[in-house]
């Protein structure tokens, strides 16, 4: 990504240098925009560091009140002043470029105004970087296993905020400014502005700038809202993505079960026509395994649905302890990711089992391994959750024992059902190995 940006910036500067002595170059705004791009490239190397593993400062168990006050002010400025300011400045920039004009017109009627707006954007982005530096990097840095009382300033939150904002500035904003510079340069380079092909290219670039601008504004709003989420809501946001992927897995599994699916027809057509009886037996065994996997996926979807309920739901018995540390938060997310990975691996194994051209015995061990690890990783997730739950709004005032009972009532029946479904699939997989072996010996 960085190398591509450097190449684009070099290309932009080359065009400017090549036409610097040409009389028809109508304004210096392209050079101003290109200077902004070059500044962003410099920030990428010098000013916008990220990743606590690279941090040279020692970690501390406690921060002083003055240090926390400074971080609180910086985060407040990010949310309420600096990040919103980039949206307003972007609107002003697009207006100064004359994007609203429906008629072919030079894309910078007021270069001085455009230059001033770009200067303001440069200043605002520098302030964003400085604020993030205070929120994330200013020493002393709290230890991730001991930052449970730092609320918005836990390591996992500040690191993620830094990465999200960095991505927006150094990818989305940079690409938007580059496209603006490209538009101005292309206009200077064309022969006849009234030429149909030139007008089409210009209109396409204008539309692309508009799309990039809308996307940038959405991303800014999203990162502001993300910074206000609770620790549990941050996890739930990730788990909702896993739930959506689980729906995709169910569709993939349906492709094996449905004889009319395009995927299955394509696989069947590409297999040789001999040994049809054995091939049909192989397909029947693969379909049986897919049928027995369907309950596991449906139960997994129910598991995600339970975890991603909103805290205001009457049926929501618990929430995450607000004093969970970054280390514990990341452990929970890692274990959930492992569970999701193993479920996805199980579905992929089933697909390979169907495609295996009767060599099922080679794929079954991988399927059984994914199955065992799926159940094992689920148990680790539930164990980690059980140690870090707290009463939700629906169960406010309940004792810790009552919350634990609610937790068990919510998840233990589901866990038991998954074990039963897993056992059924494992038994069928073992039987398939025997049946496939008998078929080969016959």
* DSSP-derived secondary structure for 296-365: HHHHHHHHHHHHT--TT-TT--EEE-TT--HHHHHHHHHHHHHHHHHHHHHHHHHHHHHHTTT-GGGTHH
At 330, list the tokens: 């990341």
Report which secondary-structure segment, H or E, holds 272: none
The residue ranges of the chain whose pLDDT is under 50 are 1-2, 5-27, 40, 43-58, 312, 439-442
Q: What is the structure's pLDDT at 42? A: 52
Write the CA distances from 192 to 19, 197, 199, integer angstroms: 17, 10, 9
Write the CA distances from 433 to 276, 282, 286, 344, 370, integer angstroms: 19, 11, 11, 22, 16
- CATH topology (fold) of 29-228: A middle domain of Talin 1 (1.20.1420)
Q: What are phi and psi of 295, to 5 degrees?
A: -60, -35
At 160, list the tokens: 């993620």
Pairwise CA distance, residues 404 & 408, whole Å: 6
Question: Contact, 208 vs 168, CB < 8 A?
Answer: no
Pairwise CA distance, residues 130 & 126, whole Å: 6
Q: Which residue has the tokens 């959405």?
A: 218
Query: What is the SS3 assignment for 433?
Result: helix
- Positions of CATH 1.20.1420 in the chain: 29-228
pTM for the model stands at 0.77
Count helices and strands in the chain by DSSP H and E runs: 14, 4
- Positions of CATH 1.20.1410 in the chain: 235-264+276-435
Distant-in-sequence, close-in-space partners of 63: CB < 8 Å, separation ≥ 6 = 71, 140, 142, 150
CB atoms within 10 A of CB 360: 25
Q: What is the structure's pLDDT at 406? A: 85
C-alpha closest to that of 26 among 111, 91, 147: 111
Write the CA distances from 172 to 44, 51, 89, 215, 338, integer angstroms: 13, 20, 15, 8, 30
Q: What are phi and psi of 59, to 5 degrees?
A: -90, 150
Q: Which residue has the tokens 């391994």?
A: 369
- CATH topology (fold) of 235-264+276-435: I/LWEQ domain (1.20.1410)
Distant-in-sequence, close-in-space partners of 72: CB < 8 Å, separation ≥ 6 = 152
Question: Contact, 2 vs 40, CB < 8 A?
Answer: no
């Amino acid at each position: 990504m960085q190398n591509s940006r450097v190449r684009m910036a070099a290309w932009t500067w080359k065009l400017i240098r090549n036409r610097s002595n040409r009389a028809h170059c109508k304004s210096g705004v392209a050079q101003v925009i290109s200077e902004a791009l070059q500044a962003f490239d410099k920030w990428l190397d010098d000013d916008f560091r990220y990743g606590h593993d690279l941090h040279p400062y020692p970690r501390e168990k406690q921060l002083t009140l003055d240090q926390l006050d400074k971080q609180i002010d910086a985060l407040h400025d990010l949310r309420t002043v600096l990040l919103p300011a980039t949206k307003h400045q972007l609107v002003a920039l697009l207006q100064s470029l004359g994007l609203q004009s429906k008629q072919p017109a030079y894309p910078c009627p007021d270069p001085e105004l455009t230059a001033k707006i770009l200067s303001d954007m440069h200043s605002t982005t520098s302030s964003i970087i400085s604020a993030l530096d205070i929120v994330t990097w200013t020493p002393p840095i709290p230890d991730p296993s001991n930052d449970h009382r730092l609320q918005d300033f836990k390591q996992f939150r500040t690191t993620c905020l830094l990465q999200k904002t960095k991505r927006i500035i150094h990818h989305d904003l940079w690409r938007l400014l580059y496209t603006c510079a490209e538009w101005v340069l292309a206009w200077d380079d064309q022969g006849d502005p009234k030429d149909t092909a030139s007008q089409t290219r210009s209109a396409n670039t204008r539309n692309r700038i508009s799309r990039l601008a809308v996307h940038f504004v959405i991303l800014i709003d999203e990162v502001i809202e993300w910074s206000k989420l609770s620790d549990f809501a941050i996890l739930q946001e990730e788990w909702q993505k896993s739930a959506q992927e689980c729906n995709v897995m169910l569709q993939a599994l349906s492709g094996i079960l449905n004889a009319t699916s395009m995927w299955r027809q394509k696989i069947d057509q590409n297999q040789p026509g001999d040994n049809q009886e054995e091939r049909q037996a192989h397909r029947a065994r693969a379909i049986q395994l897919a049928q027995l996997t369907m309950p596991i996926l449906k139960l997994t979807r129910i598991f995600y649905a339970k975890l991603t309920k909103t805290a205001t739901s009457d049926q929501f018995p618990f929430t995450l302890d607000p004093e969970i540390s970054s280390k514990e938060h990341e452990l929970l997310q890692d274990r959930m990711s492992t569970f999701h990975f193993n479920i996805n691996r199980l579905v992929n194994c089933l697909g390979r089992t169907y495609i295996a051209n009767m060599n099922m015995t080679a794929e079954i061990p991988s399927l059984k391994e994914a199955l065992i690890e799926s159940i094992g990783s689920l148990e680790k997730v539930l164990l980690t959750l059980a140690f870090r739950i707290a009463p939700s709004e629906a169960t406010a005032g309940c004792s810790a024992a009552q919350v634990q009972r609610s937790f068990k009532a919510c998840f233990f029946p589901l866990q038991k059902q998954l074990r039963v479904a897993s056992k059924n699939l494992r038994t069928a997989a073992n039987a398939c190995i025997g049946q496939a072996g008998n078929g080969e010996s016959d």
